[in-house]
Amino acid sequence: MSKNVGSPLSPRRWLRSAGYAWAGVRAVYRSEANFRIEVWAAALALGLTLVLDAPLAPILLTCALVLSLELLNSAVEAVVDLISPDPHPLAKVAKDAAAGAVYVAAFFALLVGLSVLGPRLWALVSG
């Protein structure tokens, strides 16, 4: 017999799910230096965006993309370590590909940041 988990729209179910998600974010923040760096880089980028009165949406989206991919990268690494504690070529491919996704997103986030914030920063420093 299946367990009754309630309506998918139940506030209680949503809060429970949000709690699990937040626990994952906290765990990755505590254990992954790169995630902490990226969180603070995002805070800096968002702060600069507000100070420079630049368009917020592209900066928000790129920050969300990089942070989300870093969370997924951490999940992939944890699962790979769980199922393949000894070195294996396919485990390396999985971990490297997940890390590569973060790298690609971070590179393009930098380009977005430069294109959105760069001209305003240049105007500010050049007078």
The C-alpha atoms of residue 118 and residue 18 are separated, in whole angstroms, by 36
Q: In the 3-class helix/strand/coil scheme, how is 48-108 assigned residue by residue? A: HHHHCCCCHHHHHHHHHHHHHHHHHHHHHHHHHHHHCCCCCHHHHHHHHHHHHHHHHHHHH
The C-alpha atoms of residue 74 and residue 87 are separated, in whole angstroms, by 17
| Whether 38 is catalytic | no
Handedness of CA 9, 12, 15, 21 (dihedral sign): negative
Q: Which residue has the tokens 């902490």?
A: 36
Helix (H, G, I), strand (E, B) or coil at 13: helix
Kindly list the catalytic residues.
70
